[in-house]
């Protein structure tokens, strides 16, 4: 329901909130009760549906993010003279640079200005379209170069959808969890965001191994196309539920869709923005190239270098990295968001130095190398992997949450693109061990950025920050409409249903 915010001179309150003139009439008791019941019933189901749909939707993101891990190995075997490092980097970066960065910024704005539901439906459609195009990718006259340019374009479309999922799903999940379980908002948020994103790695490799076993190593073209095709099914599984969902209560009450005070928001939240953007850049700079090229790294150190052996070690690597998500979810309330994030960045320092300084010796013992490599990634999941989405959803008010979350995630994906672009030159010019030593350095910088700039909102109701933000806007002279008219739309839907069923509802 849309309301207006005005500055007043009253000593008791800096805000005056009034119902806009086009709202339904309050004095209509019967109609008011009908609307209230319709909103309550649908909102009660919608909150849980939103949380579940965020989890299922982000599984597809995790799957898409990790598809190239084994695809890089396959393409290098199928097209050894064409799929050189520059082509591999271009195809891998298309999801990140052309897609996710753009999607996070644009959809971050959409989910604030238009609505959470509209943003979620939009991202789902883009992922489906991009996945279909990537699965059907071909070059003109069988050209391998054409194939990889087509793949770059298709993965870019997928990336816009995948990137948009970050602000759209995460903000919706945090607001819905806040509505139902304030105290456990952090662990619930982690399990439906970072856990499913991290699970996408082992899932993608498991699917690859199953398809490879069924098709055989002599049909690698079939293998990669089937793996890409399965990526179409995952987002389709949540499309219906997203069409039926309602925007979370926090958004319905606190959305600002016109005359958004971005400058006032920046003046108030510049410090958290430095923290979430900077820490996300460092985290993705380390974790994405180590994820995308982990298959290449493993295949270079194992003796036989076969695709199956690489995939099996890759699956073990992903499995070792997963427990960090659960440990972080357990610690986020006990230690607090900031301290848990610092602990995770410290893990980069410890394991990055261990692997980097002993690289020549540790890579001779493959299980030991994979275990330490997995522990480094597990610490990343425990700390920044879990906490960055959470603190980005908690540090900003509902009115600009999607925008600030999207900007933070976009800066992070910029770090991922820079890291992916720099990964091969670092290996070639400095040596493979330096990719891990640089990860350790990023861990130190991450600790400092987190300590000085990231706020800790552990246990706080998100509605409290919304109230403080509205008070701040009023004190700075901003006036405008706050909230959206979902209640009116629900009333109309309810009235239509009643008329169709023959009942008489007073309008």
What CATH number did the domain enclosing 342 receive? Answer: 1.20.1250.20
Share of residues in the chain with pLDDT > 70 (%): 83
Report residue 239 CA to chain centroid gap. Answer: 17
Q: Is residue 258 part of a domain?
A: no
Q: How many domains does the chain have?
A: 1
Q: 8-12, 210-214, 396-400 — which is least confidently predicted? A: 8-12
The confidence score (pLDDT) of residue 293 equals 64
Q: Is residue 10 part of a domain?
A: no
Q: 19-33, 124-138, 195-209, 229-243 — which is least confidently predicted? A: 19-33
Q: Is residue 254 part of a domain?
A: no
The confidence score (pLDDT) of residue 310 equals 76
Q: 58-67, 89-98, 102-111, 320-329 — which is least confidently predicted? A: 89-98
CB contact at 8 A, 215 and 77: no
Share of residues in the chain with pLDDT > 90 (%): 39
What are 7-49's pLDDT values in tens digits?
544 444 445 444 444 444 444 455 555 555 555 556 666 777 7
Whole-structure pTM value: 0.82
Q: 26-35, 36-45, 52-61, 448-457 — which is least confidently predicted? A: 26-35
Write out the residue range of the structural domain in which residue 388 sits: 29-248+265-501
Alpha helix (H) ranges present in 245-336?
Answer: 249-254, 262-292, 294-301, 307-321, 323-334
Question: How large is the average pLDDT for residues 396-403?
Answer: 94
The confidence score (pLDDT) of residue 301 equals 66
Distance CA 332, CA 382 (A): 9
Distance CA 187, CA 379 (A): 17
Q: Is residue 12 part of a domain?
A: no
Question: How large is the average pLDDT for residues 140-155?
Answer: 91
The confidence score (pLDDT) of residue 343 equals 96
**Which of the pair, 398 or 293, is modelled with greater confidence?**
398
Q: Is residue 155 part of a domain?
A: yes
What are 67-109's pLDDT values in tens digits?
887 888 889 889 988 998 888 878 877 887 767 888 999 999 9
Q: Is residue 9 part of a domain?
A: no
Q: Is residue 20 part of a domain?
A: no
- The DSSP output letter for 383 is I
Q: Is residue 121 part of a domain?
A: yes
Helix, strand, or coil (residue 121): helix
């Amino acid at each position: 329901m849309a309301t207006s915010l005005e500055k007043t001179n009253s000593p008791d309150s800096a805000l005056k909130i009034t119902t806009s003139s086009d709202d339904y009439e309050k004095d209509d008791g019967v109609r008011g009760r009908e609307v209230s019941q319709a909103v309550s019933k649908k909102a009660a189901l919608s909150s849980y549906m939103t949380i579940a749909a965020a989890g299922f939707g982000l599984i597809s993101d995790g799957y898409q993010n990790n598809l190239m891990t084994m695809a890089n190995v396959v393409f290098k075997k199928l097209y050894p003279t064409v799929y050189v490092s520059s082509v591999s980097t271009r195809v891998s970066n298309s999801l990140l640079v052309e897609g996710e960065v753009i999607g996070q910024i644009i959809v971050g704005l959409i989910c604030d200005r238009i609505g959470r539901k509209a943003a979620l439906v939009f991202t789902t459609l883009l992922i489906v379209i991009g996945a279909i195009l990537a699965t059907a990718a071909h070059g003109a006259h069988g050209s391998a170069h054409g194939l990889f340019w087509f793949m770059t374009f298709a993965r870019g479309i997928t990336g816009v959808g995948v990137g948009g999922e970050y602000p759209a799903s995460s903000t919706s999940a945090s607001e819905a969890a806040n509505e139902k379980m304030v105290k456990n908002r952090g662990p619930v948020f982690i399990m439906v965001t970072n856990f499913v994103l991290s699970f996408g790695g082992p899932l993608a490799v498991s699917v690859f191994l199953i398809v490879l076993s069924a098709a055989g190593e002599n049909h690698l073209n079939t293998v990669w196309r089937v793996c890409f095709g399965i990526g179409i099914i995952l987002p389709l599984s949540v499309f219906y539920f997203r069409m039926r969902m309602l925007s979370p209560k926090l958004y319905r009450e606190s959305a600002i869709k016109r005359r958004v005070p971005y400058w006032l928001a920046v003046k108030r939240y510049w410090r958290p923005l430095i923290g979430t953007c900077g820490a996300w850049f460092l985290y993705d700079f380390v974790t994405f190239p180590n994820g995308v090229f982990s298959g290449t790294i493993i295949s270079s150190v194992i003796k036989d270098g076969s695709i199956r052996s690489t995939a099996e070690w890759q699956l073990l690597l992903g499995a070792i990295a997963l427990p960090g998500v659960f440990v972080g979810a357990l610690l986020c309330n006990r230690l607090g968001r900031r301290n848990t994030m610092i602990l995770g960045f410290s893990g980069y320092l410890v394991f990055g130095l261990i692997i980097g300084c002993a690289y020549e010796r540790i890579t001779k013992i493959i299980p030991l190398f994979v275990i330490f490599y997995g522990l480094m990634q597990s610490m990343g999941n425990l700390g920044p992997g879990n906490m960055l989405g959470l603190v980005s959803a908690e540090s900003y008010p509902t009115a600009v949450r999607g925008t600030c979350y999207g900007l933070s995630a976009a800066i992070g994906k910029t770090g991922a693109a820079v890291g992916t672009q720099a990964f091969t030159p670092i290996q070639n010019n400095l040596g493979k061990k330096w990719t891990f030593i640089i990860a350790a350095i990023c861990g130190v910088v991450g600790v400092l950025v987190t300590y000085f700039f990231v706020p800790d909102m552990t246990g706080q109701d998100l509605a409290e920050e919304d109230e403080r933000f509205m008070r701040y806007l009023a004190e700075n002279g901003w006036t405008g409409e706050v909230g959206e008219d979902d209640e009116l739309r629900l009333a109309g839907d309810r009235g239509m249903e009643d008329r169709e069923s023959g009942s008489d509802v007073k309008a």
